[in-house]
């Protein structure tokens, strides 16, 4: 059987180094593909888009997937891949910059110096020196060693931020009830575990947020949470805009409860507000991060299209099974009892022997890879597709089989 040539629709500019992972002999990549097998996207809003029925996978060259209709794709058995950790170092470095900007009052200091440009200082160097010396008193800051850094969310980015805090001589405590074993192993031993978010807020001079946006974290830092924080503390949000209540933040800054709020998410309410340092969503804006995200998501989409392998899909379980046969079937279905039995029966009825199988679930979604000992006919694929609860089924023979 000749290898299928896959059509890839690109909705944004994806780093060329990532697209090069899709070999031209098997992939056509373009922005005007009408019947794509997969979509690669960065920031384009796909919610209002009519996503073709041909789409088998979506790859987000980044971490957040709020621009993708996850529930609708799950209902069609379409995995949505992202690139967790690919931009982690870039975000970590920006958080470190935010710590320094806030601690040394660099943003207002820069504004002060810029304001002097309107005066004529020609032949008045001494006068400028006097003005600068008088003005700098307003921007006296603090040093980071010995200060307490609280990290809420200890995934790839949060773990790197915690490590950076230790290296800067800070006392670091962190909280993440969903921490993975991998993340726990990557944390420096000096990081102190907090039992609750409130403990982090009460015991930290700087609090850095690294949580996903969901129903549990929306408005996580509100008026009540801010009341738990130390007076004069600094809050850094490089997570998502909606994990804080902006009106409460502005009030806390106006009342000197907060010294500064450093965020990567400007909004009309925050513009010009006292104590706000708002950056233009620079977290992943490095060439290295863009390259890493593009490479990671291209590899994941290719593995899925060619071999059915799932890595880092937000709506599918990770299922990685090495090929032990050229005849592979991939099945996405609702996570209900007796699905494997029905799938096995459909194959056995056609005289197929299962050589290897892997099944995993994630919430309401289950996913199965089956390697058979002989060719799988279209009628078998159709029979599996008719099983109630099966969302998508694909036959993935290797080239030449």
Give the tokens for residue 376: 């799988």
Fold of 1-87+284-316: Rossmann fold (3.40.50)
List the CATH code of the domain at 88-104+141-278: 3.40.50.720
What is the per-residue pLDDT across 275-314, written as a single tens digit (0 to 9) for each? 999 999 999 899 999 999 999 999 999 999 999 999 999 9
From the list 245, 250, 241, the residue with the least C-alpha distance to 276 is 250
pLDDT tier for residue 2 given thresholds of 50, 70 and 90 = low
CA angle 156, 38, 62 (to 5 degrees): 20
Question: What average pLDDT score do residues 110-124 get?
Answer: 83
What tens digit of pLDDT does each residue of 376-388 get?
A: 999 999 999 999 9
Determine the pLDDT at residue 127.
87
* CB neighbour list of residue 268: distance below 8 Å, 6 or more residues apart: none
Task: Read off the pLDDT of residues 198-208 as tens digits, 9 standing for 90 and up.
Answer: 999 999 999 99
- Nearest-10 Cα torsion for 89, 93, 98, 100: 150
Residues of the chain with CATH 3.40.50.720: 1-87+284-316, 88-104+141-278
The overall average pLDDT reported for the chain is: 95
Per-residue pLDDT at 184: 87
- What pLDDT is stored for residue 335 in this prediction? 97
| pLDDT (average), residues 13-19 | 96
For helices 156-167 and 88-103, give the axis angle rounded to 10 degrees: 40
CA angle 354, 319, 211 (to 5 degrees): 165
pLDDT for the residue numbered 3? 67
Please give the pLDDT value at position 386: 97
The reported pLDDT for the residue numbered 237 is 99
Cα 97 to Cα 188: distance, rounded to the nearest angstrom: 21
With a cut of 70, say whether residue 359 has pLDDT above it. Answer: yes
Question: Between 3.20.20.70, 3.40.50.300, 3.40.50.720, 3.30.70.260, what CATH number should domain 317-401 receive?
Answer: 3.30.70.260
Nearest to 291 by CA among 11, 95, 94, 83: 83
CB-based contact 330:369 (threshold 8 Å): yes
pLDDT one-digit tens code per residue, 35-89: 999 999 998 999 999 999 999 999 999 988 989 999 999 999 999 999 999 999 9
Residue 394 has pLDDT above 60, yes or no: yes
Mean pLDDT over residues 219-224, rounded? 98
Q: Tell me the mean pLDDT in the region 97-123.
A: 90
> Residue 132: helix, strand or coil by DSSP?
helix
Q: Residue 401: is its pLDDT beyond 70?
A: no
Q: How far is CA 280 from CA 94, 269, 271, 277, 401, in A?
A: 12, 15, 11, 10, 51
What is the per-residue pLDDT for 391? 98
Strand partners, 318: none
CB atoms within 10 A of CB 219: 14
Residue 244 DSSP label: B
Instruction: Measure the CA–CA gap between 193 and 184, rounded to whole angstroms.
Output: 11
Contacts of 13 by beta carbon, 8 Å cutoff, 6+ apart: 42
Q: Is the pLDDT of residue 123 over 90?
A: no
- The pLDDT, as a whole number, for residue 397 is 95
**pLDDT at site 213:** 87
Q: How many residues does the chain have?
A: 401
Sheet strands (E) in 61-118 = 80-81
H-type alpha helices, 261-375: 287-307, 339-349
Provide the token pair at 289: 């991060």
Cβ within 8 Å of residue 210, ≥6 positions away: 151, 152, 153, 154, 155, 157, 158, 161, 238, 239
Positions of CATH 3.30.70.260 in the chain: 317-401
Strand, helix or coil for residue 343: helix
Token pair listed for 52:
């073709």
pTM tops 0.85: no
Instruction: Identify the band that residue 400 occupies on the pLDDT scale cut at 50, 70 and 90.
Output: low
């Amino acid at each position: 059987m000749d290898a299928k040539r896959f059509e890839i629709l690109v909705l944004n500019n994806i780093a060329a180094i990532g697209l090069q992972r899709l070999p031209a002999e098997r992939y056509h990549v373009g922005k005007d593909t009408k019947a794509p097998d997969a979509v690669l996207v960065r920031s384009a809003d796909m919610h209002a888009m009519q996503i073709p029925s041909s789409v088998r996978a979506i790859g987000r060259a980044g971490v957040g997937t709020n621009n993708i209709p996850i529930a609708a794709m799950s209902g069609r058995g379409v995995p949505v891949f992202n690139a967790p950790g690919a931009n982690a170092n870039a975000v970590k470095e920006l958080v470190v910059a935010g710590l320094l900007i806030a601690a040394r009052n660099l943003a207002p200091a820069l504004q002060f110096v810029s304001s002097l440009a309107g005066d004529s200082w020609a032949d008045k160097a001494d006068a400028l020196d006097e003005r600068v010396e008088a003005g700098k008193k307003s921007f006296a800051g603090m040093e980071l060693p010995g200060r307490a850094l609280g990290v809420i969310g200890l995934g790839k980015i949060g773990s790197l931020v915690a490590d950076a805090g230790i290296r800067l001589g800070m006392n670091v405590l962190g909280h993440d009830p969903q921490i993975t074993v991998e993340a726990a192993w990557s944390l420096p031993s000096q990081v102190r575990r907090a039992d609750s978010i409130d403990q982090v807020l009460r015991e930290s001079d700087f609090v850095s947020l690294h949580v996903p946006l969901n129903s549990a974290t929306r408005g996580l830092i509100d008026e009540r949470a801010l009341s738990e924080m130390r007076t004069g503390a600094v809050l850094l949000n490089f997570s998502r805009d909606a994990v804080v209540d902006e009106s409460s933040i502005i009030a806390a800054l106006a009342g000197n409860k907060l010294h500064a709020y450093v965020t990567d998410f400007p909004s009309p309410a925050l513009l010009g507000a006292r104590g706000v340092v708002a950056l233009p969503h620079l977290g992943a804006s490095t060439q290295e991060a863009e390259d890493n995200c593009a490479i990671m998501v291209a590899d994941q989409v290719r593995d899925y299209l060619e071999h059915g392998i799932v890595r880092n899909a937000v709506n599918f379980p990770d299922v990685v099974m090495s090929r032990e046969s050229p005849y592979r079937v991939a099945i996405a279905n609702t996570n209900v009892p007796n699905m494997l039995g029905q799938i096995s029966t459909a194959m056995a009825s056609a005289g197929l022997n299962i050589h290897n199988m892997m099944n995993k679930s994630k919430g309401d979604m289950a996913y199965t890879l089956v390697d058979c000992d002989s060719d799988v006919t279209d009628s078998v694929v159709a029979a599996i597709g008719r099983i109630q609860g099966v969302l998508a089924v694909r036959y993935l023979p290797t080239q030449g089989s």
